[in-house]
Structure 1
């Protein structure tokens, strides 16, 4: 009976081949008829398609292992074990990925695991235990094709059914079409617990990829794969183990992948959550201060355009003293020994970067030291005292699913697609980093850490002090040197000091010129805007003038004459705009400073306001000026002009940036018994008391503007000092309050 069935099957197969041949002949005949409809055909991927998924869509061998570890997480396993094993007598390198998850049934293997790019994880979204699925492209398992020559899948489901499948990757490429490939699948009952093991083998003599350097790189990738736990973001712990069997001699070693210990020894940290509406609570810590209080920062950024995020940024100072402090806080190597300064620096070099994580796993290469996706290095070059560089920071930014955030992963697993959501993520991350930078800068100023401008100014002033002459005189008297000789030596030192002080005065004058030019550069956009209108008039009216001149020459008529007169008057009025503009700006652009002279403070203020006249009017910013009487100062008018240009520029920026409902600048001047006082107010967002108390706002390079250089108020402070004035910022409930006043005798 069984033999007859086999004969029948053979006969049917033979007849099927005959029918296929007849069909081909018929199709060839029909194809000769122009425009003939043949039939509908299936798209049939080649066998090479599976290898393309592994070789072309998986970035590298590290990415391949990461994808397979993520599959262990999706299987609800509490852990993943990566095993490297050498089998010398078989010339074999074996790589195994083992988990203790729920495993797969035979049906799952056939209908899901063997189906390329299946969307079952995308549809399910969550594992049976509630984990959000990591693998959603349906390609992770084919990553094994770049790790070894073949793959054996052994999986056991909750009922104890063990299913085995075997794939030889080089054989697959021989098949013309994907549907011709036959993968042997076996099943049997077992008493073993559920879980899945992938066994990948290749010839040891042909696979020398995994040397010590690459294994260290793998450790790095695995350590950064899972971030520190934040507010129970990951409900249950997921551990990763790395095991070596006969890989190093005949030993068996196993290690647990733990986060780098340096993560707990940061200098500064900012962390918290921001909702998709841009409202959030952040917390700032400063480990430079023992038992310092944790500061709360409230945010309201408006719609993030990239969903809700959770963020943790840790920053490290890299000067010598800070590295010593880092070690003294307890930084040790894996053997429990304190690291050296060189080791600490190398550790920072290897772990730095701000990673982006989804559902607890990093999206490569965001967070790699060499992938500065936030361009922190470029920001630091512009303002090194204020900004942090990419080699100073370790960070974690947790994002929502693609559906909720708009942040889409590339198919090749090499980052996020460059869309509007990605740009928004960069913006809000930089905004949060800026909050930390401002607080760090303020603290470092108070501690006098690495503020070169102030240090250099102090050094110059000390260079030209009279301390040396006094010290020398005392020393010579102690040595019983004659009074005449002491006087001669003191006279030489005194003359030298006089000459140096002259140089010092020249340096201060040069500095004033540079600061004036910096202020000029700050208002260049206003200058261009103001100059564009008269230039446009000249460009449009000069051809008309030429036309009516020709007409008047021919006709000598009143109409042409009136047109010429009107255009000429317009040219004169617009030229006057340039005359006024340049007369106000000329002192700032001067190559040499004039001598001090009496001038009206009120005129200097009004000149500064006039520069911004158009912008003030266009943005409905009201100006309120009140002077008790004309205030006269003996000094440099360009300095006072510069002070108020910088104050007005800041006021306009912040009132527009924060979309203040009431936009107003008030300037009140009064004459006092010992001089005068000018109160400057605006209705902007104001300055925090923290910055007011320390005076950090007048420090060069300090800024809270996203792209600010931190020069404006520093220039204003220097300009006030040169003219015997002080400028201070006072507390006010609304907006800002600056006081410019005559310095007292003892100040």
Structure 2
């Protein structure tokens, strides 16, 4: 029947309830956490999670008790039974304690559907009536039933569960009296609160799953924060888990933070304001020195501000020697393996909004800052996720761009969230740099004009530091102090070992350069040129097809002609790019030839053309156009790495700032050739000038630390030269000088 201006209404099927429960709550652990958060919003000071055997799928039950303010019949009918109620939006603070409420979407009740087949609820406000209701979630699975056709059984009665001397009061009083949690009953109060019984479990609860739940809940509220962070006092809120007799009984107890968290090897505490200005304090176990850093962690990013952040990052070294220190502390561990397992079990960076953790931040294995990938790229400097336990504090008012996902796990991928991750990695990189300095075995080098590869002393560092005869020398000096022949022989052996170690280091440096960058370029060239060959073949066929359609369909012919022209242009661009990077190939080096340094520099700089344009960087090549006898790929490697570093640091300048790179070449009076690469970026920080030439050291948050090492290898190995940090340089930022002494005639 035809009609106009007729109104219709959406009518959800009953099975929408089970669908939403599965989609909005990702797993049973999150579901229980949601029920705990509901108790927190109800001003509870104690939550009891009771597991009743048998904890098998389809049987058994879980009870969640709280001593919050409870619900009146009007609240149950008008709020709890309304889906997506706006109640929390209207009242963002809890009614008694003024807590910032954690539930705002009105969908927390679906947690019960995720946990059990049947939900029974009893709730009571002080001196009020007790409300009970029962939901059989299976009744909502009827495909033919509509949501408003499935009744929910509920009743109002005089208090029974929450009566004076009843089950709730006995439970809470027994726990607070036995364990002295500080949660004391109010004199003369009438019992109040809520209990949710989840019957017919949807999953089996094993020892492992209960242990995971307890560990997750232990980080729901952070440990006491450092006083200097000025984080508001944590609310009086305790969680108790009660497990059935038998093998699971030892999991019963109050949930608390691990003692291991109180004893990190390294710690970063500080604040970052909305503009990215950080005030960070770094400390280390057994080190009296305390480092305070003031720095800009946003560094000119165009991303929106994530808002002010407070940080407490605790990290550990997991080698046996470092963990042995912790065995002297009562952590509940008997050996190094247990200490390592304890640290890993509490690892992860947790994110707290208004004092309560956002899931799943802080869960073991949830590497939202990608620490593990950073460590793969640079294992010498970076922390892995299982070495870090972090506590990050934000607020709903101060960080409005950090919003929860609808399924209650994680944050929406907003620009503000990306900025938060960026700021966090920047802060942690400061701690990694300081840790590197503390663990660095060799003494600091002079700050300025120090070659990359100085003469090796004392057996080098890193893997070579054990190539030393010092223990033998100590024994000889003690037992044979007057034996000059033995002493001289020992000196000669030490010198021979040091010389050999230096040669091995140089060989490894060459091999590393050829095996990494060179091999990578070989693969790119091989596969890339093979693809270009195929593209050229297809383009020839396309050209023939275009000519064949000229008479039948001129419009199609014209369109195909434009496509052919565009693809040919792109093919030539790729071919030019491959030609530019071919000198970096790891194939056998050709004979050095006379080249113009300026031409070689221009060719190398052109590889960075896209980044230079994107960042608005001006490159100037000046000085004497020196002619040298060299391998073009060597000059390309020097320029590519030094200019690449300059581009990165210039990109951290504020938007609109002048960004310049100056490359100059000069032949010295001694016949040597200098290549200087300077920029007007932030320069090299004073506290790291003595470390920047160390292999794998990088001040970039995601840096690998091989750029300067590759440049130094080329300069030293093939031209008997050195790499220097020149201070001051011609521009305001960093200036590196590659001095070539051989093959420069």
User: TM-score, length-normalised on structure 2?
Assistant: 0.69
Q: Report the counterpart of residue 604 of structure 2 in structure 1.
A: 611
Give the Cα–Cα distance (whole angstroms) in 2 for the partners of residues 314 and 393 of structure 1.
6
2:111 maps to 1:143: yes
Deviating more after overlay: 238-247 vs 161-170: 238-247
Q: Which of 93, 106, 121 does residue 126 from structure 1 map onto? A: 93
Deviations 1:275-332 (A, max 9, x none): 4x4423241424145222132232251454544433333222212212223334x251
2:179 maps to 1:181: no
Contact kept in structure 2, 1:513 and 1:588, CA below 8 Å = no
Q: Report the counterpart of residue 382 of structure 2 in structure 1.
A: 387
Q: For structure 2, list consecutive stretches of 5 or more residues without a partner in the other structure.
A: 165-187, 444-458, 541-571
Q: Which of 55, 77, 100 does residue 110 from structure 1 map onto? A: 77
Change (3 A) 1:623 1:375: same
Mapping for residues 352-431 of structure 1, pairs under 5 Å = 352-401=347-396, 404-431=399-426
Give the Cα–Cα distance (whole angstroms) in 2 for the partners of residues 87 and 385 of structure 1.
49
Contact kept in structure 1, 2:25 and 2:407, CA below 8 Å = yes
Deviations 1:207-226 (A, max 9, x none): 99344333212211211212
Mapping for residues 132-531 of structure 1, pairs under 5 Å = 132-148=100-116, 150-157=118-125, 160-169=127-136, 172-173=139-140, 176=145, 177-178=147-148, 180-187=151-158, 192-193=189-190, 195-200=192-197, 202=199, 209-230=204-225, 231-244=229-242, 247-248=245-246, 255-275=253-273, 277-301=274-298, 302=301, 303-328=303-328, 330-333=329-332, 338-401=333-396, 404-446=399-441, 454-456=461-463, 508=506, 511-512=509-510, 515=513
Give the Cα–Cα distance (whole angstroms) in 1 for the partners of residues 465 and 398 of structure 2.
57
Give the Cα–Cα distance (whole angstroms) in 1 for the partners of residues 279 and 522 of structure 2.
37
Residue 687 of structure 1: CA displacement? 0.5
Change (3 A) 1:172 1:718: same
Q: For structure 1, list consecutive stretches of 5 or more residues without a partner in the other structure.
A: 1-33, 481-486, 488-492, 543-573
Contact kept in structure 2, 1:94 and 1:199, CA below 8 Å = no
Residue 69 of structure 1: CA displacement? 1.0
Residue 515 of structure 1: CA displacement? 2.8
Contact kept in structure 2, 1:78 and 1:238, CA below 8 Å = yes
Residue 707 of structure 1: CA displacement? 4.7
Change (3 A) 1:606 1:93: same
Give the Cα–Cα distance (whole angstroms) in 1 for the partners of residues 663 and 75 of structure 2.
74
Contact kept in structure 1, 2:238 and 2:255, CA below 8 Å = yes
Give the Cα–Cα distance (whole angstroms) in 2 for the partners of residues 250 and 378 of structure 1.
37
Contact kept in structure 2, 1:519 and 1:645, CA below 8 Å = no
Give the Cα–Cα distance (whole angstroms) in 1 for the partners of residues 390 and 404 of structure 2.
19
Instruction: Name the SS of the counterpart of 2:154 in structure 1.
Output: coil
Give the Cα–Cα distance (whole angstroms) in 2 for the partners of residues 313 and 607 of structure 1.
46
Contact kept in structure 2, 1:621 and 1:663, CA below 8 Å = yes
Contact kept in structure 2, 1:520 and 1:585, CA below 8 Å = no
Contact kept in structure 1, 2:684 and 2:734, CA below 8 Å = yes
Q: Report the counterpart of residue 20 of structure 1 in structure 2.
A: none
Mapping for residues 564-603 of structure 1, pairs under 5 Å = 586=583, 591-592=588-589, 603=596
How large is the Cα RMSD of the aligned pairs?
A: 5.3
Instruction: Name the SS of the counterpart of 1:697 in structure 2.
Output: coil
Residue 688 of structure 1: CA displacement? 0.6
Deviations 1:501-557 (A, max 9, x none): 9999799568537636866789999999xx9xxx9xx99xx9xxxxxxxxxxxxxxx
Give the Cα–Cα distance (whole angstroms) in 2 for the partners of residues 342 and 307 of structure 1.
40
Give the Cα–Cα distance (whole angstroms) in 1 for the partners of residues 463 and 54 of structure 2.
66
Q: Report the counterpart of residue 721 of structure 2 in structure 1.
A: 725
Contact kept in structure 1, 2:242 and 2:251, CA below 8 Å = yes
Change (3 A) 1:253 1:246: same
Give the Cα–Cα distance (whole angstroms) in 2 for the partners of residues 278 and 52 of structure 1.
43
Give the Cα–Cα distance (whole angstroms) in 2 for the partners of residues 706 and 264 of structure 1.
26
Q: Report the counterpart of residue 737 of structure 1 in structure 2.
A: 735
Q: Which of 693, 698, 707 does residue 693 from structure 2 map onto? A: 698
Change (3 A) 1:317 1:134: same
Residue 403 of structure 1: CA displacement? 10
Change (3 A) 1:187 1:691: same
Give the Cα–Cα distance (whole angstroms) in 2 for the partners of residues 237 and 648 of structure 1.
53
Deviations 1:553-598 (A, max 9, x none): xxxxxxxxxxxxxxxxxxxxx99x989977x975875514759x9x
Instruction: Name the SS of the counterpart of 1:130 in structure 2.
Output: coil
Give the Cα–Cα distance (whole angstroms) in 2 for the partners of residues 196 and 579 of structure 1.
70
Give the Cα–Cα distance (whole angstroms) in 2 for the partners of residues 37 and 93 of structure 1.
56
Instruction: Name the SS of the counterpart of 2:47 in structure 1.
Output: strand
Instruction: Name the SS of the counterpart of 1:83 in structure 2.
Output: strand
Give the Cα–Cα distance (whole angstroms) in 2 for the partners of residues 40 and 688 of structure 1.
69
Change (3 A) 1:171 1:298: same
2:44 maps to 1:77: yes
Give the Cα–Cα distance (whole angstroms) in 2 for the partners of residues 207 and 742 of structure 1.
72
Q: Which of 647, 658, 663 does residue 661 from structure 1 map onto? A: 658
Instruction: Name the SS of the counterpart of 2:425 in structure 1.
Output: helix
Contact kept in structure 2, 1:268 and 1:315, CA below 8 Å = yes
Residue 727 of structure 1: CA displacement? 2.5
Contact kept in structure 2, 1:59 and 1:414, CA below 8 Å = yes
Give the Cα–Cα distance (whole angstroms) in 2 for the partners of residues 208 and 635 of structure 1.
70
Give the Cα–Cα distance (whole angstroms) in 2 for the partners of residues 254 and 621 of structure 1.
66
Give the Cα–Cα distance (whole angstroms) in 2 for the partners of residues 37 and 607 of structure 1.
77
Give the Cα–Cα distance (whole angstroms) in 2 for the partners of residues 676 and 45 of structure 1.
80
Give the Cα–Cα distance (whole angstroms) in 1 for the partners of residues 154 and 53 of structure 2.
26
Q: Report the counterpart of residue 560 of structure 2 in structure 1.
A: none
Contact kept in structure 2, 1:609 and 1:648, CA below 8 Å = no
Change (3 A) 1:124 1:516: same
Instruction: Name the SS of the counterpart of 2:692 in structure 1.
Output: helix
Change (3 A) 1:110 1:359: same
Bigger radius of gyration, 1 or 2? Answer: 1
Give the Cα–Cα distance (whole angstroms) in 2 for the partners of residues 419 and 236 of structure 1.
28
Contact kept in structure 2, 1:686 and 1:735, CA below 8 Å = yes
Count the aligned residue pairs: 627
Residue 94 of structure 1: CA displacement? 5.8
Change (3 A) 1:80 1:678: same
Residue 713 of structure 1: CA displacement? 0.7
